[in-house]
Structure 1
Amino acid sequence: MINMLWQYNSNTKPELNRTYPVQPNIMPINDLVQAISGFNKVAIFGDYDVDGICSSLILKKALDRLGIKNIIRLPERTEGYGLKPEHVKELKQKGFDTIITVDNGITAFEAAEEAEKLGVKLIITDHHEPKSVLPKAYKVFDPKLYDNTYKDYAGAGVAFLIARELLKTKNEPVMIDMIELAGLATVADIVPLDSNNWYIARKGLEYIRKSPVKGIKEILKIADRKSEEVNGFDLGWVIAPRINACGRLQSPVLGLNLLLNGTGAETVEKLNQKRLELVKRYVENIKDNDNKFLIYIFRNCPKGIIGLIAGRISEMFQKPVLIGILQYEQVTASVRTYGEFDLLQAFEYASKNLDIMYGGHKAACGVSFNIRDAKRLQEALNKYFEENPIKQEINLLDGVLLKKPVLEELKSFDDFEPFGYKNPEPAFLINGTVTDIKETVKWRMININGEFNIFVNGTYNTGDNVKLIVRPYINGNYISFKVLDEKPEIV
């Protein structure tokens, strides 16, 4: 097991010192925007997750405003990720000679060839890692292709940049719901919440609090959450999972219709509950073993939840995890990592001697391979891990608590929402002595230094010296503490 490392900060005031300076976008976007502006009819090809759905909607809203006819085509999970030749043929037959991808396409080589053959102008807009060679498309736009500019946008962030510039060509303002969708997807897709991304996420959060789009409003109603109290946790763990549940277990079109029209919220909620039950069932059947890189392959697991299972198991066992499903002889898998470990480099290493397909992010990717290669893949990934072990990530402390904060001090924390990846929850060290213990069958609460009452999981005795990492928060009119780490290692 990997111990969590925390960097000491002697600040004794419960305040956050974080900045999110916006970086200029030094990217050749004008040529792309001028090309799109000249089309009369466009097919938008997105993805089945919340980022792909939001990306599609953002671009659609801009095209609608400009009077450019358009449709959104979202792939089902059974079709697999990304634009494929059959999608190009389908949209061509429907009368679309222009296709714009959002949140996918940077590795759509075969689809680009098909588009060229059929005379379809393919415009690729993506945020995933490009390979050394790009698809031969009409236009390709991905921030990761350019130096000296901000690169870490979600797919919806890229779509928002394009949509904003499209609207500028007609002196049209950006619509509030476009900003809400970009903010939601930026948090949900677990891209770094720093710099430009934090600004997008923050603006989206502010507008959601004031006037959420119909679909978000319906989700918050079902989840018994007030829009004016929405925070980063709600974006990432209340709203996004419900939209994602549509594509995971039925169809992303349900999520699209919910966000676009506010319809089908009850159906979506039922799918979300089913998702929770299924993931729990499969996670309970997975055991750890001696492999450094854990591989589990199921025969009948729903394809849409394998990424969730991989993420849960990766956190549980603190190692990279591949969860796959076997159909005939082919394995389709989702992979998640723990800590600082680059999955794309790991599979690049494995692909030197194995026939595997892979793509995505450093921390989350998709993979496919023949079942006969499973053992060799396991050996290759174990070997790569041994040569490139997980780096212990150092978590930053915001300070040390000597006394219980007051409400006014904690209210300022909201200025730094939404919290998420690379903008973590406030974290403070409490270092002291257990002065009292209260417990029931269901909970255990300790008092530290006669000052802090904190619910814990571990076993303690009166007089024990303890160190806890906590996040103080407002619970009604009281101050409560969420324990982030009961056995921290301070560096």
Structure 2
Amino acid sequence: MRADNSISNDTSRWVKKPVSKQQIEPLCNSFNISPLLASVFIRRGITEGKDILYYLEDDLRFQHNPFLFSGMEDAVERIMQAKEEGEKVLIFGDSDVDGVSSTAILYEELVRLGIDVQWRLPLEADGYGLSIAAIDDFAAQDGTLIITVDCGISNNEEIAHASDLGIEVIVTDHHNPPEELPQAIIFINPKMEDSLYPFDGISGAAVAYKLVSALRFAQSDFYNAEISILELSQNQQEQCFYADCIKIRNLVKIKELHEKIIPGQTSIYDLKLPYFLQGQLIYSWDSRTTLNLLSQIFGSGIEFNLNDLRSEIGAVIPSVKNKSAAQIKALSQIAKYTGSEASEIESIYNLYVTYCKKLIADKKPQQVQDEQKDLQLVALAALADIMPMKNENRIFVKNGISSIKKNRPRQGLAELFNKLNINLDGLSSTDLSWSVIPALNAAGRMGHSDIALKLLISNDAREREQLAVTINKMNEERKDLVSNAYYKIHDTAQQSIQLHSNKLCVSVDECINKGVTGILAARLMQDFNVPTITLTYENDICIGSMRSCRGFIATSFLDSLGDIYINHGGHNFAAGFSFHKSNLELFLKRVQESSNSVTLDAETACIDIDAELPLEHLTPENFNLLDIFDPFGAESPELILMTRGLKLIDTMVLGKKEPHHLKMIFETGTYKIPAMFWGQAERLKKDIIIGKKYDVLYNMSRNYYNGTKTNQLIVKEIVPAQ
């Protein structure tokens, strides 16, 4: 679009990557999806079943097992030991939404377990992460175990101090680990190389939720129970048998064995199978058939004690009790996404996991309710910390929003939603990101993160109501602070870019409230499209935030500036730090010198289009694309679609104080579709004319008003149709 905001006929910036029929058909056939959906997946690089799964499924059974963390079993054992021995436990969190949510999730579960637990968030004097003062205060109470949530991975000095005082520390975190790790007894961090967890993009609250899920599982009969599943198959052509075994502990596969057995040639003493199964509780899907095959192979002189898995699972899941192993594989939802890699025993294992979880849920319905409450906070944290909206994060956010809608908001959120006038019927990830999360974050930014935490964990309805009012007021104060500071520093921040090789923006000003450095850095980064650092100082301490873009890793850059920090850390594109004011000149000098070697991904003016919808395909049914791709967020932006030849049949100017926005009605020939063009009201009659046809670039959206749901377009660009 031209700078004067008038309509141009140029659509050269609208780029739609070509997709072939040969690419589309396999996805349509494998996953039973439409060519439209398949084409969007392909353009977004989502072509493997393991990735497509998280767009087509939202069942919690598709999340990863918490015991995949290498340290999870040790963490559970240590916490249960603290319960048994009556130890004092401290949960130390962070002050943002992720940290407060993490603390609330773990605190509530440890209270349920009857553990003597307390919580603490950073005080203004503490800075980021676990503090010496917090450790000393806890030691004075004879505390013996600290569990960090959403922090701790960089607190080497503090954890060493705790150890000197006889306090053990479990670190649960999700920030990038430093080269030298602290001496904690247990780490649960998906970003650590030896974590063994299959997805490193979860929030700190999700890590806490995984720990809580493991603690809940530890209260079941399946905890630490080892079983083996054995399946035999006969290959008539090769005149042999194949033995497939999986050993399971805490519902995680810990060992596998696959052997070929040739009758008359393979002795049982030549096989690994007997040793693999020794001392195990052994299951087979159809134990009678498996025993018959074993007799054929080894004769009747060797006995195997097998339990029949089909009868056990069939009693809980009746739909499978008459199914063969081959039929179980055909029915397996998970197998659909693993393709040729799936096997009968893999499908039986997946079904066994589902069976165990169903048994636990039936026996402990309160745990299911507690999990739903936790997921509301996990969803908030994923959006607040801008976690990549892929893999199990999609399941967390979908289930969290669904829980809010169906089960109503949990305590604390209910009161806050009421103050913010949140419409639950139309609640989306965008509503949470733009309204709820900033309000919750405001408490921490204004130096009172404890108020947000108390709101979430208080059992007193009157107290929660008062806290929600306080947070709402703080949010308004936060908005004023950001607005005033942004106006004051904008021009000097822009001028700093040239001083930093046109690759960095740096702003230092005492007027900036330390609680909003991150917000300001993010806004300046969006304005100038370069990584941005904002700094303020109070007394002898400088506090800053960095927000990055265009492929530049913030934490690596801060690391490269040398050992000048009190503390620093964060994520690839969002980091924080502090140092003594005496180092300010040195810090700024190093940043400027380093800017010469900064490498940024190239800027592009092109707009990638996910799909072109012809007029006849712009139907209410195709708005279901929203349900598949929502939640949107990091690494999963809103869909950008294009339709040619939309006829504009009506317009209306909207705006509460000033008429800035343009509401439009387009006609497809079959349907009339409303659309919003934000901030473009002045173009009405100037170059947007009723009765003309236009090519439109847009996002799909839904509007909820007075209980009515309406599909609508959010116009990005518009040009006269050719």
Same fold (TM over 0.5): yes
The equivalent position to 2:451 in structure 1, one of 254, 264, 277, is 254
Q: Provide the residue aligned with 2:147 in structure 1.
A: 100
Q: Is the 8 A contact 1:340 1:393 kept in 2?
A: no
Aligned mate of 2:77, from 30, 34, 37: 34
Structure-2 residue corresponding to 1:419? 632
| Separation in 2, partners of 1:149, 1:331 | 37
Q: Tell me if 1:442 matches 2:660.
A: yes
1:157 aligns to 2:191 (yes or no): no
| Aligned pair partner of 2:442 in 240, 245, 250 | 245
1:129 is matched with 176
Greater CA drift, 399-408 or 200-209? 399-408
Tell me if the contact between 1:445 and 1:454 (Cα under 8 Å) persists in the aligned partners.
yes
Aligned twin of 1:282: 485
Structure 1 Cα separation of the partners of residues 546 and 201 of structure 2? 20
In the TM superposition, 1:109-188 aligns within 5 A as 109-145=156-192, 146-147=195-196, 149-171=198-220, 173-174=367-368, 175=370, 176-188=372-384
Instruction: Give the residue type in structure 1 aligned to 2:73.
Output: N
Displacement after TM superposition at 1:402 (Å): 2.6
In the alignment, does 2:575 pair up with 1:343?
Answer: no
Query: What corresponds to 2:397 in structure 1?
Result: 201
Q: Pick which of 282-291 and 409-418 moved more.
A: 409-418
TM-superposed deviation, 1:448: 7.3
Does the alignment pair 1:455 with 2:677?
Answer: yes
Distance 1:164 1:214 in 2: 20
Q: Is the 8 A contact 1:48 1:77 kept in 2?
A: no
Distance (Å, rounded) in 1 between the aligned partners of 2:606 and 2:213: 37
> Offset of 1:410 from its aligned partner?
2.3
Aligned mates of 1:90, 1:158 — CA distance in 2: 26
Q: 2:702 aligns with which of 460, 473, 476?
A: 473
TM-score by length of 1: 0.88
**More divergent stretch after superposition (122-131 vs 5-14):** 5-14
Distance 2:602 2:558 in 1: 15
Q: CA deviation at 1:55?
A: 0.6
CA deviation digits over 1:76-112, x for unaligned, max 9? Answer: 3442110022211111112311111000000100111
- Show CA shifts across 1:280-310 (max 9, x none): 1111221212242111111132211111111
Structure (1 or 2) with the larger CA radius of gyration: 2
2:130 pairs with one of 56, 59, 83: 83
Mapped to 2, the partners of 1:240 and 1:71 lie a distance apart of: 25
State the Cα deviation string for residues 306-352 of structure 1 (Å, max 9, x = none).
11111111111211111110234542101112332211222233338
Question: 1:396: how far off?
Answer: 5.8
Q: Which sits farther off after the overlay, 4-13 or 309-318? A: 4-13
Residue of structure 2 in register with 1:230 after alignment: 427
Partner residue in 2 for 1:398? 610
Alignment deviations for residues 356-384 of structure 1 (CA, whole Å, 9 cap, x no partner): 85310111001234221244133134213
Residue of structure 1 aligned with 2:17, choices 8, 32, 51: 8
- Distance in 2, Cα, partners of 1:252 & 1:433: 49
Q: Deviations over 1:381-406 (max 9, x none)?
A: 42132x34457699764311333834
Q: Distance in 2 between matches of 1:254 and 1:221?
A: 17
Measured at CA, do residues 478 and 181 of structure 1 come closer, stay the same or move farther in structure 2, by a change above 3 Å?
closer
Q: Relative contact order (alpha carbons < 8 A, sep ≥ 6): 1 or 2 greater?
A: 1
From the superposition, tell whether residues 312 and 4 of structure 1 become closer, same or farther in structure 2 (CA, over 3 Å): farther
Q: Which residue of 2 aligns with 1:73?
A: 120
SS at match of 2:412: helix
Measured in 2, the distance between the counterparts of 1:267 and 1:9 equals 53
Give the drift of 1:438: 5.8
Backbone CA RMSD of aligned residues = 3.2
Long gaps (5+) in structure 2: 1-11, 20-33, 42-51, 221-363, 459-463, 654-658
2:277 counterpart of 1:268: no
Give the aligned residue type for 2:660: K
2:296 counterpart residue number: none
CA distance in 1, matches of 2:646, 2:604: 28
| TM-score, normalised by the number of residues in structure 2 | 0.61
What is the letter of the counterpart of residue 340 of structure 1? G
Kindly provide the CA deviation profile for residues 191-225 of structure 1, in whole angstroms up to 9, marking residues without a partner as x: 11211111122211111112211211112111222
The alpha carbon displacement at 1:245 in A equals 0.6
| Aligned mates of 2:553, 2:559 — CA distance in 1 | 10
Moved more, 6-15 or 294-303: 6-15
Structure 1 counterpart of 2:424, which letter?
A: S
Aligned residues: 484
Stretches of structure 1 lacking an aligned partner (at least 5 in a row):
none
Taking only the aligned residue pairs, the percentage that are identical comes to 26
Q: Measure the CA separation in 2 of the matches of 1:81 and 1:316.
A: 27
Do residues 368 (structure 1) and 578 (structure 2) align?
Answer: yes
Distance 2:667 2:450 in 1: 54
CA displacement at 1:275 relative to structure 2: 0.9
Letter in 2 for 1:218: E
Q: Separation in 1 of the partners of 2:622 and 2:693?
A: 29
**Partner-residue secondary structure (3-state), 1:111:** helix
Distance 1:393 1:123 in 2: 47
2:101 equivalent among 51, 54, 66: 54
